[in-house]
Structure 1
Amino acid sequence: MSGSRTGAGHGAGQVVVIGAGIAGLAAADRLLRRGLRVTVLEASGRVGGKLLPGEVAGVRVDLGAESMLARRPEAVDLARAVGLADRLRPPATATASIWTRGALRPMPKGHVMGVPGTASALAGVLSDEGVARIERDADLPRTEVGEDVAVGEYVAARLGREVVDRLVEPLLGGVYAGDAYRLSLRSAVPQLFQVARTHTSLTKGVREIQARAAAARQTGPVFMGIEGGVGSLPLAVAESVRARGGEILTGTPVTELRRVRGAGPLGAAASGGTGAVAGGHPAWRVVAGDRVLYADAVIVAVPAPAAAGLLRAEAPAAAAELAAVEYASMALVTLAYRRTEAALPAGSGFLVPPIDGRTIKASTFASQKWGWIAEQNRDLVLLRTSVGRYGETEILRRDDAELVEVSRQDLKAATGLDATPVAARVTRWDAGLPQYPVGHHARVARLREHVAELPGLALCGAAYDGVGIPACVASAHAAVDQIHGDLAAVRELTAHPVQSLHGGAGE
């Protein structure tokens, strides 16, 4: 498969997946289950993307995302399919707090991304005036939202800014590290967008969402982790892909993606020739270092800026849409303390509204949230903080020691914790979280129209229909279906993006 053997790797049902994050790996897994040949090319030296296992003070922890939504099947099903069923673990506690107005306050129950069904649900978190403002929702005239609207703009119009600033903002910040007054209601919280289009009263619509959920009698945990870390999921998927004959090449950045002609039907040998890339249509030439691969189809599973660079030659309009996607950067600070010196409040951690002027935006009490972390060393307590939101650049220019220090200062102010950690680790996620501003849905629709003009090409990942792990897996599955000519899953994601619900403090 080197440059001296440029024809190697081409054959019926050969697919190249660019990117070995969880989306690319999930795509490779699905392709292999359909009997296709797969090569995954990853620029970095490891698989997993933003899912990263690690150690602090000898204790295994996640250094990236730490949980996955279990009320959607995609991520949990993938974990089970690659042999992790016996390692799936719910949080030991899902009781979180919010650090606002000078105190840690219990996270309210009965809300949808911070939007309550009743004013009383937010008593304690909001001022009396803020609670009273919510009650005006039932008497206000309809708020028109058109094709899209900012979450903060709509919710503030219905319920007042205090709901947005003290609850919606920190919850959305935990998912997107974004700004509620920029983020798209349609893409970021699709449930509430449907309410906005069909109801005059927002609180009444939220109560209907809650009633439907109760009628559905959903049982089991809302979120799930994995013993050893969610970061072990991509490692298990990669191992399964390789065991079934798939090839994964790390340290192999793709430098060129071009169409050529002469491919046979995608999957002809494996699926009766039902693929979208029929004879005579363009196939793909992929250049990665000194390697040149030919494929019947390519799935691009890298962040939007990298995808834009790859598509610029063959799909300039799609590349322009991708280049316009913005990202937020953040850092996670993981701290280990002696248990005898670290008495923490009960619960899984806390969120911090930006309006309160703190540096950290959340803290997760990892040893309390995940039993498997506590069991590794009963003499230690591990927690982590997160810093950095969209548009905040100054804080992330500070060195690791400064980020540890500001985290300790805020933890002391919030919880009284004043001990010296025995170990600390800072993990930076530069341009880690794609932003879904107003109009994101329309941008993704335009992008898909451009890509549809290129047979055998599909995109997947966090930049399109949801940033959580289930959303990335669903996006990968839709991409695989698309290159087979089945657009049903793509249409479903376009119509109904995956809401990336907040997974508790620090998630």
Structure 2
Amino acid sequence: MDNAPARAPHIVVVGGGISGLAAAHRLLASGARVTVLEGSAVLGGKLLAGEIEGAPVDLGAESMLARRPEGVELARAVGLGDRIQAPAAAGAAIWTRGALRPMPTGHVMGVPAQPDTLHGILSAEGLARVAQDRELPPTELGEDIGVGEFVAKRVGREVVDRLVEPLLGGVYAGDAYRISMRAAVPQLFDAARTHPSLLDGVQDIQAAAAAKQRGGPVFAGLDGGIGTLPVAVADAVRAQGGEIRTETPVLALTRTADGWRIRTDSELIDADGVILSTPAWSASALLAAESPVAAAELSEVEYASMVLVTLAFRRADLAGLETRSGFLVPPVDGHTIKASTFSTHKWSWVKERGSDLFVLRTSIGRYGEERHLDWDDADLVDVSLGDLGEAVGLSAKPVASRVNRWIGGLPQYPVGHLAKVARVRAEVAKLPGLRVCGAAYDGVGIPACVASARRAADEIIATSTLARNTQSDAGQ
């Protein structure tokens, strides 16, 4: 009988975005030996801290949902608990019908609880259409339905085009009429199954949220930027003995008698298990030989690309800018930018560290509308300034600008997405020691990505431990 201690399973995580790093962090806590392989030179994926004119800024995602715990928990676990911040300014606006109008309160992804909050945003006809909701018969949902399709049937297209579309566009850069309600707004889907009236369903969602609310913010950022989170997680992974290799693209994945063999551009690595935390197209290519069904499903996942334009002004030149956190732009109004964030107003750390600067950002690009990716940086800055001038009267010239193109940055969740994810996971689970995680599966926000990573890590550990124990028992 061999009394040697069991060997810690070696797990390779492919992809060094926040999902892959969170998976590595979880694996190490479970006693695994971990190697993270990232193809690019930079960790963090769409979470990227940078600076403009010497002021720190986020050049990718800038906040996370705080009422879902996984992202905040990870930040605290890697020593960033004292840097979690609520936005300093609230009160986003909608730029529509030629003016900035306050975002209605009491809504769920733009779907209102009270029609009387929509004056100025909707036309008289649109308001009358909303009021018909409680008179209409129930709408058939089926297994899934597009958010825009369902909301339009209940309260009219104006609510979709001027409220739901810009909010969903900010999260997914997608088309509200294509996006799955089950995947993107599950609480709305669940309410719709029990409430014939959409307005009544939203009111119940709001009441339930108020009952659970503990006084914390809906969203949170980090002092220094959300882009500092993957850096801190990577540091924690290394401190626990994990290995992280950047500029190490994975070219192939092969099943072996004892586990998996990973081929990079320079070596072969043997592992007991693999977690793929890459975009769907990359996971599809790596799974083509071992799981062609999963690979085919993943090859169909579409992505939207977008551009973030960060602008720095002299603060004195923007002294009259109203103290909102920013504004959203409905595509139906025909403008180029889809949103603007007044970072200096929104985040106290930007204001404090930005000296005499005022920093704001615009975002450009939606699913199916990506011609702007080919524009020169100067043209993207100019069109942003043009829309800002029309929206808020901005006439000052920036002292610095930065343009970041996020190609294939946001996976799309069309109707049937959850069923596709279930099929992918069922096929992948047939291969011992293999799991997938990331934004393509369970949600694009940071907490959803962390939760996806935790699930993959826990399942890998369970299967690796089971396999190891089985082999040990067979040898006794």
TM range (shorter): over 0.9
Matching of residues 243-282 of structure 1 within 5 Å: 243-262=239-258
SS for the counterpart of 2:206 is helix
Match of 2:322 among 313, 325, 345: 345
Distance 1:354 1:195 in 2: 27
Q: What is the identity, as a one-letter code, of the residue corresponding to 2:26?
A: R
1:355 matched residue in structure 2: 332
Q: What is the identity, as a one-letter code, of the residue corresponding to 1:334?
A: T
Residue by residue over 1:323-361, the C-alpha shift from the partner in whole angstroms, topping out at 9 and shown as x without a partner, is 100000000000000111113122100000000000000
SS for the counterpart of 1:484 is helix
Offset, 1:169 = 0.2
Distance 2:70 2:20 in 1: 14
Residue by residue over 1:411-430, the C-alpha shift from the partner in whole angstroms, topping out at 9 and shown as x without a partner, is 00000001110000000000
Match of 2:78 among 67, 76, 82: 82
Distance 1:377 1:334 in 2: 13
1:107 matched residue in structure 2: 103
1:474 aligns with 2:470: no
Offset, 1:121 = 2.4
Match of 1:235 among 227, 231, 237: 231
Work out whether residues 254 and 288 of structure 1, in 8 Å CA contact, stay in contact via their aligned partners in 2: yes
Work out whether residues 100 and 166 of structure 1, in 8 Å CA contact, stay in contact via their aligned partners in 2: yes
Work out whether residues 27 and 461 of structure 2, in 8 Å CA contact, stay in contact via their aligned partners in 1: no
Offset, 1:292 = 1.1
1:73 matched residue in structure 2: 69
1:291 matched residue in structure 2: 267
Q: Aligned residue pairs: how many?
A: 457
Q: What is the identity, as a one-letter code, of the residue corresponding to 1:126?
A: L
1:322 aligns with 2:298: yes
1:24 aligns with 2:20: yes
Offset, 1:219 = 1.7
1:334 aligns with 2:286: no
2:209 matched residue in structure 1: 213
Match of 1:164 among 160, 165, 189: 160
- Give the alignment's TM-score, normalised by structure 2: 0.95
Work out whether residues 47 and 250 of structure 1, in 8 Å CA contact, stay in contact via their aligned partners in 2: yes
SS for the counterpart of 2:260 is strand
Offset, 1:63 = 0.1
CA RMSD of aligned residues (A): 1.1
Offset, 1:124 = 2.4
SS for the counterpart of 1:261 is coil
Match of 2:370 among 393, 397, 400: 393
Q: What is the identity, as a one-letter code, of the residue corresponding to 2:431?
A: L
Distance 1:480 1:424 in 2: 40
Residue by residue over 1:177-204, the C-alpha shift from the partner in whole angstroms, topping out at 9 and shown as x without a partner, is 0000111111011111111222211111
2:405 matched residue in structure 1: 428
Match of 1:184 among 172, 180, 187: 180
Work out whether residues 11 and 295 of structure 1, in 8 Å CA contact, stay in contact via their aligned partners in 2: no
Distance 1:61 1:393 in 2: 24
1:197 aligns with 2:193: yes
Q: What is the identity, as a one-letter code, of the residue corresponding to 1:420?
A: K
Query: Which residues of structure 1 form unaligned runs of 5+?
Result: 1-9, 263-282, 487-507
Matching of residues 370-385 of structure 1 within 5 Å: 370-385=347-362
Residue by residue over 1:47-93, the C-alpha shift from the partner in whole angstroms, topping out at 9 and shown as x without a partner, is 10000001111100000000011101101110011011111111001
Q: What is the identity, as a one-letter code, of the residue corresponding to 2:102?
A: P
Offset, 1:117 = 1.4
Distance 1:296 1:441 in 2: 28
Work out whether residues 306 and 370 of structure 2, in 8 Å CA contact, stay in contact via their aligned partners in 1: no
Residue by residue over 1:352-406, the C-alpha shift from the partner in whole angstroms, topping out at 9 and shown as x without a partner, is 0000000000000000000000011341100000000000122221111100000
Work out whether residues 307 and 364 of structure 2, in 8 Å CA contact, stay in contact via their aligned partners in 1: yes
Residue by residue over 1:461-505, the C-alpha shift from the partner in whole angstroms, topping out at 9 and shown as x without a partner, is 00011000000000000001222348xxxxxxxxxxxxxxxxxxx
- Give the alignment's TM-score, normalised by structure 1: 0.89
Distance 1:214 1:223 in 2: 15
Distance 1:225 1:485 in 2: 33
| Structure 2 CA distance for partners of 1:378 and 1:290, relative to 1, 3 Å | closer
SS for the counterpart of 1:463 is helix
Distance 2:288 2:224 in 1: 40
Residue by residue over 1:129-173, the C-alpha shift from the partner in whole angstroms, topping out at 9 and shown as x without a partner, is 211211100010110010011110000000000000000000000
Offset, 1:11 = 5.5
1:457 aligns with 2:453: no
Following TM superposition, the consecutive aligned residue runs of length 4 or more in structure 1 with deviations greater than 3 angstroms are: none
Matching of residues 411-450 of structure 1 within 5 Å: 411-450=388-427
Match of 2:461 among 470, 478, 484: 484
1:309 matched residue in structure 2: 285
| Between 315-324 and 335-344, the greater mean CA deviation after superposition | 335-344
Offset, 1:409 = 0.1
Query: Which residues of structure 2 form unaligned runs of 5+?
Result: 1-5, 464-476
Work out whether residues 12 and 296 of structure 1, in 8 Å CA contact, stay in contact via their aligned partners in 2: no
Work out whether residues 252 and 263 of structure 2, in 8 Å CA contact, stay in contact via their aligned partners in 1: yes
